[in-house]
Chain A
Amino acid sequence: MATDLQQDVDLLRNVPLFRNLDAAKLKLLAFTSERLTYSAGDNLFLQGDSGDSAYVIVEGEADIIIDTPGGPITVATVKQNDWVGEIAILCDVPRTATITAKSKLTTLRISKDVFFQLIMQFPQMSVEVMRELAFRLERTNRQLQEAVGKLKEAGAA
């Protein structure tokens, strides 16, 4: 019989971040994580909260929202197999964005110590984390470029 935990393990295996982990570690990750269900509109966490865990989206979609002087802006939407909330636990800063469930949402909450434990033990995982962060940085840079370009255009016009 496929257990719930086994489902979680299968799920985690499909997350790029964890694809290099062996089965036992994935199981440990699943076992020590908490599977949480949210209704649409619920917040996973709020910008400015202190954070002690990262989340892997198991099912559903969530918005990443940043408070700006001009009001909240949705900067991205995450879906199945994406992960969020790693910045606060990697650099010990308050949450940099608010995550709100867009639909019925299921996540796996991975606590800080497990996350670090795995990164320490598996260099491949650190590489994955770096790759993902670099990718996001690149995306942010691109967005910044576009934004600055638009501003200049607006200024020129």
Chain B
Amino acid sequence: MDKNIYKFIFKHTKGQQIYILLVTICSMPFYYASLDIPKLIINSALKVDDPAIQGDEFPRPLTILGIEIMDVSQLTLLGSLCVIFLFLVLVNGGFKMYINIYKGRMGERMLRRLRYLLYSRILRFPLSHFRKVSQGELIPMITAEVEPLGGFIGDAFAVPALQGGLLMTAIFYIFSQDPLMGIASILLYPIQGYIIPKLQKKVNLLGKARVREVRKLSEKIGESVSGIQEIHANDTAQYELADFSQRLGTIFNIRFQIYNKKFFIKFLNNLLAQLTPFFFFSIGGYLVIQGEISLGSLVAVLAAYKDLSPPWKELLTYYQIQADSRIKYDQVISQFEPQGLMDEGKQYSDADEFESFEGEVAAANLSLQDEDQVTIVNGVNFKFPVSDHVAVVGSSGSGKEELMLMLARLIEPTGGKLNTGGSDLAEMPEAVTGRRISFVGQNSYIFSSSLKDNLLYGLKHRPNGLEDDSGSADHAAEESVPEEKKRKKKEKFGKVDLAGASDGTESPSSRRHFLAEAARAGNSVHDIFVDWVDYNSAGVGSTNSVVAAALKSIEIADMAEDVYQYGMRGSLNPAASGEAAGRILKARTALMARLQEPAYADLVEPFDRATYNMNATLAENLIFGNPVGDAFDIEKLAENSYVLEVLKKADLIEDLLSCGHQLTATMIELFADLPPDHELFQRFSFISADELPEYQVLVTHTDKEKLDELGDEDRTRLMSLPFKLIPARHRLGLIDEAMQVKILEARRIFHEDLPEDLQNSVEMFDHEKYNSSATLQDNILFGKVAYGQAQAAEKIGELVAEVVDVQDLRATVMEVGLDYQAGIAGSRLSATQRQKLAIARAVMKRPEVIVLSEATVILEAAAQARILDNVLQEFSAQGVVWSLHRASDAERFAHVLVMKNGRVVENGSFNDVNQDGSAFRELMENE
């Protein structure tokens, strides 16, 4: 990267800087004219007896810029001058706006370029560097610290050129009036030019210190957030606060020093600026008295001097800003040039011409030292066929972990060579290592997207369609992606309201503009919204078979059951084939039949249009469908005007009010003397602890017989409660048979009268239709699991699984499960699920060699064994290098490397190394 901000700016914006300078120069005459017109208005249009103007009678000629246009009367003259003035104001404003926008765009583009460069460098940092820099440091550098540079970049050349020009003109004018005066006017500049940079240098140093300290501060905050559990667990909040206070104090002192120096510089500048007129009056006055210059000249020089100081001030301000920007730039850049930064070509070049790995993996004197020159891997030699199954065993700290990282080319050796298929692994582009080798460590990272996206992550190397002509590339790719997929991808980006700004997704043409702009800022022009999945490398032809491959990987990673469960809780993609929905309906019918068996009697109460479902809420019984959107949200049902209308027609209002009243009384009886934060409140009460007192007042002050007279708000309050009542669960007996009949009537009215605009707000339960807003589980069940039946949920779960298998729906369900969102850093998955998903991701890529570094250590023993078997079987023809935490598992591998203290101490088949007294035997015995 360019070490100096000016080099960086000049390299990328040369032409634009010159252009902006030219435009600025072009704008000057208009600017001067606009300053001149007011004088002209006063002097020629208003002043009648000016001897300078020929003849003091109107009509007189209108003179602009020395050109006589025509004879005009006084009023016409005033009018035309004013019109000209207005015109010039508009022109000047236009110029200013154009220049500012142009500069702004240039600055923003450069900011974008800089940020992009910095981020691209993070992606090329050697892994070891991340032990030295924290997120807390890197994030503010790219986000906040470089932000002000954008503004400076626009001004970098234009301001000094323009203001310098103005300054020179004014100085020249003064000199032309009188050389002595000229000298007087610039007498103090050398002094300022000497002292101010000296002071500024100190400010710069302080500025650097400030940036460093603030960076440490953000690192500290990041650390506290990550370690928040430890802080609470150890009562160290006071300690952390004192630490933070110390840092803030340091920053305060630095900033205060900066202010001291800054304002001293300002004071000095003002003082020197005021001193110059002192020279004018003293020297100039003397000269006038001596008769050497005329009073008129002195006045003119003084006026010129007034024009001299604004550009000078501008220049000084500019000087301070550029000093500040230079520090910021230097400080940021220096953090992005770590030793061992990956060569750009390695990450960017493609793998096209590269032969597949064939032959051997061979290490020759392979060594690794860490930053402190401690030897971790010490001159290791070994050789095995690429497609071999190799177990690496050794105690922790034996260097096996690092060896695995080197085999996956995640770290590079500091000595020796590691060849794969005859070529040096260190020389290969990432396009080769990243596609043909899979790596799974102990703590794999899961991205915040769906399980499927995480599985496909290993296949997103380059956008599809790059082989086409570059001109039509984006277009071709655009069409090859199904709309649905594009929409989903856009959602990922477009969640924030852009307030009218474009994210380039509105139309194909806006997309092209968007990417063209990216090119202008030197950013990636690969379109994120096209399909990136490398289907060839996954060994599948299309989007459909990729799902099958994904499911197979899930199976291998022993995660099928989890995905099945997620699928049951998910719902079919509405755009998906009706065929799957059809099979779900068949499963529903099949389940219904099975439920007739005595063993399952009474476990499920199916939805039936004509009966009240005792295991469903009142709301479900009334609407008899799934709410879509917010219109029929159960929390707000009592406020919904349509629902109220229906209830009124069914004569239910009074029932609900009295039901709500009784329910409130019961809740108060049960919960009133529990502490408000008691767990039972949350789990069982219809009324939250905060609201209970209000309800208490409401109930005690209301006569049960006079509920009709309540105000709207209180009525809503009471009526909203019973909607959540489930007779079988709550056993309160508040919904008697008469009321059930009325609710069934209300259900009928609700459906018959449903207005057009609400049709889409509810999806009815219909036993012949798939309900797209319900989960798969609910769709198959089409009813409610009965309360009060022991182990009902388990029994039903097994039964549903049977039916799903019979209908051949398991893959469909699991496909839905793949859409489950993993959460931030996979937080919605358990640690074991994350690890399994990472293994599945590595398998999905179908690498030539899969490298696993104690990848299953956190899993339970049975799962470990299953995954080991599955992976070895799946990769029977490809390479597997597995660093095992249990030496006994090595029996299943063709080749065993035993590591100890950074060396390979034993090397051979399981029987070779499993000898009495061998290091391997020792490891086995220590298990």
Contact = CB atoms under 8 A, between A and B. Distances in A.
Interface string B401-434: 0000000000000000000000000000000000
Contact of B731 (A5, A24, A36, A37): A5
B680 A32 contact: yes
A4 B735 CA distance: 12
Interface in A9-61: 24, 27-28, 30-32, 34-38, 42, 44
Given A27-B670, A42-B790, A32 B731 contact: no
B733 A5 contact: yes
Nearest to A113: B679
Contacts of A68: none
A97 B683 CA distance: 29
B684 interface: yes
B128 interface: no
A6 B678 contact: no
Contacts of A44: 790
B641 interface: no
A36 B731 CA distance: 13
A28 B670 contact: yes
Nearest to A3: B733
Contacts of A2: 733
A3 B731 contact: yes
A117 B790 contact: no
Contact of B789 (A8, A27, A36): A36
Given A28-B671, A31-B730, A36 B680 contact: no
Interface in A103-120: 113-114, 117
A31 B731 CA distance: 8
B684 A37 contact: no
A81 B671 CA distance: 25
B731 A117 contact: no
A150 B705 CA distance: 72
A35 B683 CA distance: 16
Nearest to A36: B790
Contacts of A6: 733
Contacts of B730: 5, 31
Given A31-B684, A32-B680, A32-B684, A37 B790 contact: yes
Contacts of B787: 34-35
Which of B679, B732, B736, B790 is packed against the most chain A CB atoms within 10 Å?
B790
A36 B732 CA distance: 16
B791 interface: yes
A156 interface: no
Contacts of B678: 117
Contacts of B679: 113
Contacts of A4: 731-733
Interface in B665-687: 666, 669-671, 673-674, 678-680, 683-684
Nearest to A27: B670
A114 B680 contact: yes
A142 B718 CA distance: 58
A37 B670 contact: no
B55 interface: no
B508 interface: no
Contacts of B504: none
A91 interface: no
Majority secondary structure of chain B interface residues (helix, strand, loop or mixed) = loop
Interface string A83-127: 000000000000000000000000000000110010000000000
A1 interface: yes
Given A3-B733, A113-B679, A113-B680, A31 B670 contact: yes
Nearest to A35: B788
Interface in B734-793: 734, 736, 787-791
Contacts of A34: 787-788
Given A32-B684, A37-B788, A3 B732 contact: yes
A34 B679 CA distance: 16
A42 B791 contact: yes
A106 to B, nearest CB: 8
A85 B43 CA distance: 107
Contacts of A28: 670-671, 680
A35 B730 CA distance: 10
Interface in B645-691: 666, 669-671, 673-674, 678-680, 683-684
A118 to B, nearest CB: 11
Given A24-B670, A31-B670, A1 B736 contact: yes
Interface in B782-839: 787-791
B495 to A, nearest CB: 38
B667 to A, nearest CB: 9
A2 B787 CA distance: 20
Contacts of A30: 731
Contacts of B733: 1-6
A76 B684 CA distance: 34
Nearest to A2: B733
Contacts of B790: 36-38, 42, 44
A8 B674 CA distance: 21
Interface in B693-735: 730-734
Contacts of A8: 731
Contacts of B670: 24, 27-28, 31
Contacts of B669: 24, 27
A117 B788 contact: no
Nearest to B727: A4
Contacts of A31: 666, 670, 684, 730-732
B15 to A, nearest CB: 73
Q: Which of B673, B679, B680, B734 has the most CB of A within 10 A?
A: B680
A40 to B, nearest CB: 12
A27 B674 CA distance: 13
Contacts of A36: 788-790
Contacts of A42: 790-791
A49 B30 CA distance: 90
Contact of A37 (B673, B734, B789): B789
A37 to B, nearest CB: 6
Nearest to A31: B670
B681 to A, nearest CB: 11
Nearest to B734: A3
A113 B674 CA distance: 13
A113 B679 CA distance: 8
Contacts of A5: 730-733
Contacts of A38: 790
Contacts of B731: 3-5, 8, 30-31, 35
A114 B671 CA distance: 12
A43 B787 CA distance: 17
A3 B729 CA distance: 12
A21 to B, nearest CB: 13
Of residues B674, B731, B733, B788, which shows the largest number of chain A Cβ atoms within 10 Å of its Cβ? Answer: B731
Nearest to B672: A24
A32 B685 CA distance: 9
22 contacts: A3-B734, A4-B731, A5-B730, A5-B732, A8-B731, A24-B669, A24-B673, A27-B666, A27-B669, A28-B671, A31-B670, A31-B730, A31-B731, A32-B683, A35-B731, A35-B787, A35-B788, A37-B788, A44-B790, A113-B680, A114-B680, A117-B678
Top 3 nearest A-B pairs (CB, nearest first) are: A3-B733, A4-B731, A5-B731
